[in-house]
Amino acid sequence: MAVQFRDYYDTLGVSRTATQDEIKSAFRKLARKYHPDIAKDKKAGEEKFKEINEAYEVLGDAEKRGKYDELGANWKQGEPFQPSAGAAPQWNNRGGVESSEFHFEGTGFSEFFEAMFGRRGGFGGNSFPETGDSRFGETSSATYPIDAEADIMVTLEEALNGSTRQIRLQKQMRGAEPTSETLKVKIPPGVREGQRIRLSGKGQNGGDLFLSVHLERHPDFRVQEANLHSELELAPWEAVLGCKVTIPTLGGHAKLTVPPGTQNGQQFRLQNLGLPRREGGRGNLYVSVKIQTPLTVNEQEREVWQKLAATSSFNPRPTI
Amino acid sequence: MNDDFEYHQTRFKVTSASDSSGQLFNLTITASHCEIHPDLIRHYCRIGLVRPAARDEEKNPYFDDDGIYWIRQIRELNREGEVGQRTLRVILDLRRQVEELKRELRFRIDN
């Protein structure tokens, strides 16, 4: 099935030779602009944010980026694209014998992504051969249940509160009319990266369908198990003198008192502001201080800094 | 079998719904979802191929969707007995390590 090509470099506004740091920086900049909590047009922002996340999901991962780059630079955004047999999420396709195709909508990934990186039946992923009729070089149809895997993108807000999502599953079995059904997927609060959600009997021949959770990247927070990590940018004088700042938390804001003498990289732990833990309660939010210095100063500011340099007893290199 | 159990000092209620994301299943229900005998799951637990998500006060195992996924994977690998127990253990260990490293890498890339 032909899908529309997606130019992920174009989506992030970076060149094909961009470094990982440039890609990360471009993603964060766009993510801050289009995150549904921030964007003025929430619906358009949500769509754009999904596109940016998908682009970063591919270009931010060396393996996926390599596979994507193999397509070459000749494809244009929106052009019809026919995935190769090896790339398409088909089942029992080993040896080039196409027997069934599955397509998903509502997982948070585009058809193009599904076609390029979608998982397969059997042992899933690209690491292991598929089970089924071709296990022993045979080409007859499998009659026993075969499990399938697919990815689902979950927002941090969904991971915090849980949600019910609808996905559309389209099946094209060999020699049969395509069928389509809408499935309700319950996203439990506290769901983790890589956690599987099982849809009983929705695989091949009555096997199960396992949806592997990918947490959507957030402009402010990084996820590690149930803990969230964020950065707090401070002016040098705020770090030296201390200050009170309002920081974003998942779904709200919190006030943080920065003590005098705060160091670059120092971490503050805000208890119970992370994601839900399975055993109850919530993880923590870790806020790391990043001291920013001004790129330019005006005359008046320069004088103040010079005065400080002349009077300060602080030696940043005491051992040299 | 008592369906209320302690999980890290927090009480969970086990239900038997078929599509119950985030819920835990007792051995009998897990076995029916995996279409194998409960004794085989006990055996997998005993030899360390799978680990229950929780155990109740009587040490009965409970599994989540991830647990069911791994048991079904073992069942597939072992369907015709073509993969020996040692090989099975190596495969599962490697796959779990890859998944863990992918999670860690994702976090590090983002930092």
| B43 inside 8 A of chain A by CB | no
Query: What is the C-alpha to C-alpha distance for residues A302 and A309, in angstroms, rounded to an integer?
Result: 10
**Tokens standing for B103?**
């999670």
Which of A149, A215, A275, A278 to mutate against chain B (most B CBs within 10 Å)?
Answer: A278
State the Rg of chain B over Cα. 15
pLDDT number for residue B37: 94
> How much of chain A, in percent, has pLDDT values that exceed 70?
84
pLDDT number for residue B1: 38
Residue type, A291: I
pLDDT surpassing 70 at residue A97: no
pLDDT number for residue A137: 33
pLDDT surpassing 90 at residue B94: yes
> How much of chain B, in percent, has pLDDT values that exceed 70?
80
Query: Chain A closest CA to B46's CA: distance in Å?
Result: 23
**Tokens standing for A166?**
């609808």
Residues in chain B: 111
- A164-210 pLDDT per residue, tens: 999 888 877 777 778 888 999 999 999 999 999 999 988 888 889 99
Average pLDDT over residues A257-266: 97
Q: What count of other Cβ atoms lies within 10 Å of the Cβ of residue A152?
A: 21
Query: Chain B closest CA to A176's CA: distance in Å?
Result: 26
Which of A279, A286, A288 to mutate against chain B (most B CBs within 10 Å)?
Answer: A279
Residue type, A52: I
Asked if the Cβ–Cβ distance from A195 to B65 is below 8 Å, we say: yes
Query: What is the C-alpha to C-alpha distance for residues A153 and A111, in angstroms, rounded to an integer?
Result: 13
- B17-67 pLDDT per residue, tens: 333 446 899 999 999 999 899 999 999 999 889 999 989 888 899 999 999
pLDDT number for residue A14: 93
Mean pLDDT over all residues of chain B?
Answer: 79
DSSP state of A152: E
pLDDT number for residue A282: 93
Average pLDDT over residues A286-298: 96
pLDDT number for residue A126: 33
